[in-house]
Structure 1
Amino acid sequence: MNSLFGSNLKYDLKASLVVFLVALPLCLGIAVASGAPPMSGLIAGIVGGIVVGSISGSNVSVSGPAAGLTVIVLDSINSMGTFQLFLGTVVIAGLIQLGLGVAKAGIIGYYFPHAVIKGMLTAIGLILILKQIPHALGYDVDLMGDESFLQADDHNTFSEIWYAIQYSSVGAIPIVLIAMAILILFEKPKIRNHAIFGVVPGALWAVLSGILINFLYGFWKPEWQLGGDHLVSIPVLENFSQLGDLLTFPDFSMITEGTFWIVAVTIAIIGSLETLLSIDAADKLDPMKRITPPSRELVAQGIGNSVSGLLGGLPVTAVIVRSSANVASGAKTKMSAVFHGILLMILVLSIPNILNLIPLSCLAAVLFLVGYKLAKPSIFISIFKNGWDQFIPFIVTVIAILFTDLLVGIGIGMVFGLFFVMKTNFVRAITLTELNGNYLVKLQKDVSFLNKALLMKHLSNIPAGSKVIISAHKAQFIDHDIQEVLNDFIESSPDKNIRITIEGYQYQTHQKL
């Protein structure tokens, strides 16, 4: 175990640094968009990394505050009246999740269709690209972490890009272009594996270049220099004695009221669904194809949410943006997630003034690359080659998530996915094959009344004078309606000079009236 940890350490440390850079603005943006203190997002990120990462059975997923819960958190804070009361519901939500994990409820995570999960990943990639275009252009009116199509300011994903084009900040554009060039350069194996340059991930070089360029603007083009909303904004401590001021503690005074429990159960259920979706997606991204125990993940998330609520943090879930950045950066074990949480804790407390120099435009470049890897054109082509029964649920999921939000889009995708699963099972449940006037009617699996019309159609196509084999060896269950159709066909076969051989089916003669 120690040797494995040592051999993977360099990969996990490099990946954790990239995940830290991705998580930092997202934690802050999600907190502010949720109507919560900025520090609550950072606390959730720290807990998601250290606590959940340590307990989780996933090797590549990363947990933290989720954009998919933003609206729910905002509404919950308003309905509870105070942030402290809301924190109480987060603690209880964590205990509910813990109970779900112990009860092995995570098994529902195995029932999400593959095409829908691939669609979710691709949609997240496209959303990352579209949502970062305004930040890349220096139009930072909206916070990072907003993944919904409809925004709080009545704009949407596409109208925001139009406004960004009209009101861009010139200084942001060279920063994002140079950052992108660095990131693309570090995708080259010779650079990524270089003895000197390869020690530090390309994302950090990109961020350092952004800070340096913005600093040089002050001497060369002061009107281009970025400040205020264009930079990361972390609360700054004057001294460590103020640390306690950043923490908010939960209030359980409403625990006997129905509203309290409605909020807690809602957070537990929605958070659990988003977690199960994200770990399934992260497992598909994992180059080693390791499988995360879903019920153990619910236990980890439950403990993490209770700890986060006790310290003043937002609810946490497994999140696909940070998880995909983790995989793309070469993470090998879950220690990458833990290290990213440690980095958040140490650097946010020790060097906030330096972190507050980071332009959002260079962080947008990092997220552009993550988004592209999730939504490459080759993914669309490969899914299309798998057939319409895979491509339609995939593309419907992509479009639905783009124009709604993650959970609504997944729900729509699931409807289409289940339709095609049922359609495929329906068609394949009964087959009819013919060779030289000999017919084989095969019941491939359990057959219900839903297959009655198909069976009748197959049997009506068998001409008089044929030889027919009815094989039901693979059918564990045959509905009564199906038995009636088969019995009628068998009884009427002498009239058509059809000779029948029965295999694996108990024919019962009808009672004559």
Structure 2
Amino acid sequence: MFKNIKNDLPASIVVFFVALPLCLGIALASGAPLFSGLIAGIIGGIVVGGLSGSKVGVSGPAAGLAAIVLTAIGTLGGYENFLVAVILGGAIQILFGILKGGIIAYYFPSSVIKGMLTGIGIIIILKQIPNFFGYDEGSAWDLGFFEIDGGNTFSELFAMVNNITPGAALIGIISLLLLILWDKVLSKKSKVFEIIQGPFVVVVLGILFYTFTKGNAALSLVDKHMVNVPIPDDISSFVGQFSFPNFGVITNMEVWIVAFTIALVASLETLLCVEASDKLDPEKNVTPTNRELLAQGAGNMISGLIGGLPITQVIVRSSANIQSGGKTKLSAMFHGFLLLISVILIPRLLNMIPLSVLAAILLVVGFKLAKPSLFMKMYKLGWKQSVPFVVTVVGIVFTDLLVGIGLGLGVGIVVILIKSYQNSHFLHIEDQSNGKHKIKMSLAEEVTFFNKGAILKELDSLPRDTYLEFDVTKTRYLDYDIIEILDDFAFKAKERNIDIKLISKRGIVENPDSFIEFFKLRPQSKISLS
């Protein structure tokens, strides 16, 4: 387990720097205490990371749940009441895992998963650009299109143009250029540059920049441009930052409704991220999804017990882990310990990190998720792949994660129905036979009620005086609906002087009176012809 520590430890440092502002930002967007985001990040790393079967996935507070948390805290009458819903939600997730609910992850098309990754990459870039230039730091962690202050993703970009902070922009640009140089050039020159990660270097550089520009009217940074970790005065004030659930509201039905909502949304978001992170994993490990639900459920129960936000696996952290060379779950666990140690021992040092430096790190992560070459690759795969991909990307950018995925999945289902409609049969027109047009119609391997329209249209369009060779030798399953259509056609064919030659593995029949009688079938959902 420790043989990859030379990869996992540097990767955990990168994930730590990515996770730290996300934990605080999501807590802020959720209307929860800032410390609750850090608790969720710590539990997501140490507990969920230890219990999960994922080698590269990293868990923590999720932006996708921020709106639910914000509303629920008000509805349930306080944060302590909301924590009861988090605990119950974790218990429901464990139940989902026991009932093998993780199988749902395998029913999302690859094009939708790739669209999800790309959409998240674009959102990260768009949200971090204002932060990168020192404007509207709060919006950087609100990953929805519409924001609490009434603005949206693009309005923030326009407003940023006249509100650039020179110091934040300067250290952000230097950090971004250094990260690109480190990734593209220096890491290939020497092993030293692989061991010492670029994100760690730019964070140190950011701290030095903040220290040496204090008092400089042009370049100095103020508190809103910096990381803002709560600083306890002593042990008692540190312990005082924890919140504990009020179990007196456990009989409140609204608490159970919120709990089920958290369990459902968190489980779905986790399973989607599991599928996505497995696709990004260069070693193509497959995460056991039911075990992941059990791990997430346990993590949410513990997080709720000590005042943390709900937890899911998060693709931003996971992709940063993979891109930084993380190999095993130790990377996720180390990042949790780093969060724990840092908030206890060095909160003041953390508060010296400029947010624009962390924005530079996230811009690199976002670009790697949304590479322009991927759009060309999906286009070349054809419309069946590219349309669900584009719809998912656009949906995520202009709405939110789950809505975008739902739109992409809906389009993917429509594509399947269209192709099923088109691929139900093959028609071949041959020379005349006994003065009649000879047409051979072969059915596909599996023909369902989706194909009713295509087959009915084809049969109705056959001209009079036709010799139809109807071949079902390759067909393994027929819906009873299709059999009824064929049975009706057998009657109509006599009126239109159409001769039918039915070819199947059960024999060959000329002009069958009834398809149902021929196959000796009873009404049922599917008919086996093999």
- 1:191 matched to which residue of 2? 187
Question: Any residues of structure 2 matched to 1:107-256 within 5 Å, and which?
Answer: 107-188=103-184, 190-191=186-187, 194-218=190-214, 221-256=216-251
The equivalent position to 2:348 in structure 1, one of 324, 348, 353, is 353
Conserved? CA contact 2:22–2:141, under 8 Å? yes
Shift of 1:432: 2.2
Aligned partner of residue 426 in structure 2, secondary structure = strand
- 1:411 matched to which residue of 2? 406
The equivalent position to 1:52 in structure 2, one of 37, 48, 51, is 48
Cα deviation code 1:392-415 (max 9, x no counterpart)? 111111111111111111112221
The equivalent position to 1:378 in structure 2, one of 367, 373, 388, is 373
- 1:317 matched to which residue of 2? 312
Shift of 1:31: 0.4
CA RMSD of aligned residues (A): 2.2
Question: Any residues of structure 2 matched to 1:10-21 within 5 Å, and which?
Answer: 10-21=6-17
Conserved? CA contact 1:93–1:264, under 8 Å? yes
- 1:65 matched to which residue of 2? 61
- 1:426 matched to which residue of 2? 421
Cα deviation code 1:69-99 (max 9, x no counterpart)? 0010001110111111111111111001001
Give, as a single letter, the amino acid of the residue that structure 1 aligns with 2:238.
L
- 2:476 matched to which residue of 1? 475
- 2:19 matched to which residue of 1? 23
Conserved? CA contact 2:18–2:317, under 8 Å? yes
From the superposition, tell whether residues 49 and 428 of structure 1 become closer, same or farther in structure 2 (CA, over 3 Å).
same
CA distance in 2, matches of 1:347, 1:192: 31
CA distance in 1, matches of 2:31, 2:223: 20
Which moves more between the two structures, 481-490 or 49-58? 481-490
From the superposition, tell whether residues 502 and 127 of structure 1 become closer, same or farther in structure 2 (CA, over 3 Å).
same
CA distance in 2, matches of 1:77, 1:324: 30
Shift of 1:466: 5.1
Shift of 1:46: 0.3
* 2:301 matches 1:297: no
Shift of 1:449: 3.8
The equivalent position to 2:5 in structure 1, one of 6, 9, 34, is 9
CA distance in 2, matches of 1:484, 1:153: 58
CA distance in 2, matches of 1:479, 1:497: 23
* 2:442 matches 1:442: yes
- 1:335 matched to which residue of 2? 330
The equivalent position to 1:272 in structure 2, one of 256, 267, 290, is 267
Cα deviation code 1:208-248 (max 9, x no counterpart)? 122222323237x3331112110000011233343311211
CA distance in 2, matches of 1:12, 1:399: 34
CA distance in 2, matches of 1:423, 1:499: 28
- 2:521 matched to which residue of 1? none
Under a length normalisation based on structure 1, what TM-score does the superposition of the two structures give? 0.93
Give, as a single letter, the amino acid of the residue that structure 1 aligns with 2:274.
I
Cα deviation code 1:114-142 (max 9, x no counterpart)? 11111111110000000001111100342
Any unmatched runs of 5+ in structure 1? none
Give, as a single letter, the amino acid of the residue that structure 1 aligns with 2:135.
Y
Shift of 1:435: 6.2
Shift of 1:50: 0.6
Shift of 1:474: 2.8
* 2:83 matches 1:84: no
Cα deviation code 1:266-317 (max 9, x no counterpart)? 1111111111111111111111122111111110000000000011100000
Which moves more between the two structures, 426-435 or 119-128? 426-435
Give, as a single letter, the amino acid of the residue that structure 2 aligns with 1:509.
D
CA distance in 2, matches of 1:213, 1:332: 33
- 1:456 matched to which residue of 2? 456
- 2:519 matched to which residue of 1? none
Which moves more between the two structures, 453-462 or 365-374? 453-462
CA distance in 2, matches of 1:118, 1:127: 14
Aligned partner of residue 330 in structure 1, secondary structure = coil
From the superposition, tell whether residues 230 and 497 of structure 1 become closer, same or farther in structure 2 (CA, over 3 Å).
closer
CA distance in 2, matches of 1:168, 1:320: 29
Conserved? CA contact 1:192–1:201, under 8 Å? no
Give, as a single letter, the amino acid of the residue that structure 2 aligns with 1:277.
L
Conserved? CA contact 1:493–1:499, under 8 Å? no
- 1:502 matched to which residue of 2? 503
Shift of 1:159: 0.4
Cα deviation code 1:36-83 (max 9, x no counterpart)? 110000000000001001111111111100000001000111011111
Aligned partner of residue 223 in structure 1, secondary structure = coil
Give, as a single letter, the amino acid of the residue that structure 1 aligns with 2:31.
G
Aligned partner of residue 246 in structure 1, secondary structure = coil
* 2:288 matches 1:284: no
Shift of 1:486: 5.8
CA distance in 2, matches of 1:497, 1:265: 59
Aligned partner of residue 253 in structure 1, secondary structure = helix
Shift of 1:450: 3.6
From the superposition, tell whether residues 486 and 445 of structure 1 become closer, same or farther in structure 2 (CA, over 3 Å).
farther
Conserved? CA contact 2:421–2:453, under 8 Å? no
- Identity among equivalent pairs (%): 46
Shift of 1:433: 3.8
The equivalent position to 2:258 in structure 1, one of 243, 256, 263, is 263
Aligned partner of residue 6 in structure 1, secondary structure = coil
CA distance in 1, matches of 2:452, 2:252: 52
Give, as a single letter, the amino acid of the residue that structure 1 aligns with 2:398.
F
Give, as a single letter, the amino acid of the residue that structure 2 aligns with 1:201.
Q
From the superposition, tell whether residues 503 and 318 of structure 1 become closer, same or farther in structure 2 (CA, over 3 Å).
same
Shift of 1:357: 0.4
Any unmatched runs of 5+ in structure 2? 433-437, 516-530
CA distance in 2, matches of 1:255, 1:193: 59
Conserved? CA contact 2:46–2:333, under 8 Å? yes
Cα deviation code 1:412-458 (max 9, x no counterpart)? 22211111112122222222245667754222243234423311343
CA distance in 2, matches of 1:359, 1:471: 69
Give, as a single letter, the amino acid of the residue that structure 1 aligns with 2:6.
K
CA distance in 1, matches of 2:146, 2:264: 23
Give, as a single letter, the amino acid of the residue that structure 2 aligns with 1:446.
E
CA distance in 2, matches of 1:289, 1:199: 23
